[in-house]
Amino acid sequence: MRISIFGLGYVGAVCAGCLSARGHEVVGVDVSTAKIDLINNGKSPIVEPGLEALLQQGIETGRLRGTTDVAAAIRDTELSMLCVGTPSKKNGDLELDYIESVCREIGFVLREKTTRHTVVVRSTVLPGTVKNVVIPILEDCSGKKAGVDFGVAVNPEFLRESTAIKDYDHPPMTVIGELDKESGDALESLYSELDAPIIRKDIEVAEMIKYTCNVWHAAKVTFANEIGNIAKAVGVDGREVMDVVCQDKTLNLSQYYMRPGFAFGGSCLPKDVRALTYRAGQLDVEHPMLGAIMRSNVAQVQNAFDIIASHDKRKVALLGLSFKAGTDDLRESPLVELAEMLIGKGFDLSIYDSNVEYARVHGANKDYIESKIPHVSSLLNSDFDQVVDGSDIIVLGNRDERFRPLAQHAPEGKQVVDLVGFMKHTTNGTTEGICW
């Protein structure tokens, strides 16, 4: 199939690599010439294990190319995936400017296109967005009828950063929200070779499924953290408790998120919790548990800060800045919040994160790092040993395996604070866990 992908961030770039590797002809579209240049040179615009090899393969075989030319991308393809960002507004609602802009551009090109084209929304959008925003813009700009003259569908992604390629190849399910049967059929043919159930629903149901999954993941992280905090306070290792709880696969479900530790972050969970609770408030629906998730998450960042501050030492090494290992994504990273708290309280902070260091020099996140958090990024140091040796307190912030030995044997004269669970033991004199 000939596919155009709009937005070459964490979702779009992975989809481009995976689809081209499966034999499809893919055109990646982005307003950033830096991203397009990286793609066309077989380089990844993001840090994601295995992605660069797929992109390079796509370029070498001629199945992948990048462009800023929207009209050419629409004319040359039969299906478009919208993977542009939908960030949070200050009130928690979604910012739809990118979605609206790309829909207008696509609509004007569809006005002149004589063959059928299907527009698929991969971006995470609240229920009703496609019906009330996407379709009206496409119809107005094209002068055509959705579901008749062109297709529309929703295809929510379930890709976790740092394991996105594995998640694409081995999904738990593929959800298709279809306006018309022909659009659903096109998407089903795209995923038919994957070993996972294909679930076809109405568009609004598919939109809601994505939010339900992400808010549930956020709730599991929050639940595990609160259990871990209580367990530690009564002298129990919260990890032991949750390990047993997670052995019940019938009622307690997956253990992936059910691990006591640090706050959740990233581009999905915080944004989606805020958006769904904002909409619940608009609808006058009481949601006390969901409404408390973000407050509990903030409290876990404060908990980590309090542990660090309790040791009355000022030189702190923060190992990890992205919200999880294996990615350079700093959006809503609780480690960035922790770093800002430490800076604000006058701690002498040094930060090591090889993926963020790479992104600061080469990646598509360079502009974000330089413009949004220059006060934090200026403290990055690419010399791991120098960061560790120059500190009094070492904070293990994400699950980079290079950090694990420090939790097993704290360097002499230094205090280790483990936020991720590398410790085999519970808190002792030189190593303290956040929930154990």
CA 84 centroid distance within chain: 13
Helix (H, G, I), strand (E, B), or coil: what is residue 261?
Answer: coil
Radius of gyration of the chain (CA): 23
313 known ligand binder: no
124 known ligand binder: yes
425 known ligand binder: no
Nearest alpha-carbon partner for 1 in 117, 174, 161, 130:
117
- Stated length of the chain: 436
40 known ligand binder: no
Instruction: Quickly list H helices, 111-202.
Output: 129, 135-142, 164-169, 181-191
11 known ligand binder: yes
Nearest alpha-carbon partner for 396 in 256, 378, 405:
405
381 known ligand binder: no
CA 201 centroid distance within chain: 24
Distinct helix (H) and strand (E) counts, the chain: 19, 13
225 known ligand binder: yes
161 known ligand binder: yes
E strands within 237-352?
315-319, 348-352
Provide the b/e sequence for 313-329 (b: ≥16 CB within 10 Å). eeebbbbbbbbbbbbbb
134 close to 101: Cβ distance less than 8 angstroms:
no
Catalytic residue, candidates 83, 103, 268, 435: 268
CA 406 centroid distance within chain: 27
41 known ligand binder: no
Is 103 catalytic? The answer is: no
252 known ligand binder: no
Q: What's the CA gap between 289 and 170, in Å, rounded?
A: 32
214 known ligand binder: yes
Tokens at residue 22, please?
């499966």
Other Cβ atoms closer than 10 A to 229: 17
43 known ligand binder: no
Q: What's the CA gap between 118 and 165, in Å, rounded?
A: 24
Cα-flanking dihedrals φ and ψ of residue 319, to 5°?
Answer: -95, 105
257 known ligand binder: yes
Other Cβ atoms closer than 10 A to 432: 22
278 known ligand binder: no
259 known ligand binder: yes
256 known ligand binder: yes
145 known ligand binder: no
Residues contributing to the annotated binding site for NAD(+): 10-11, 30, 35, 86, 124, 271, 331
Residues contributing to the annotated binding site for GDP-alpha-D-mannuronate: 161, 210, 214, 217, 225, 256-257, 259, 262, 265, 324
Catalytically annotated residues: 268
Residues contributing to the annotated binding site: 10-11, 30, 35, 86, 124, 161, 210, 214, 217, 225, 256-257, 259, 262, 265, 271, 324, 331
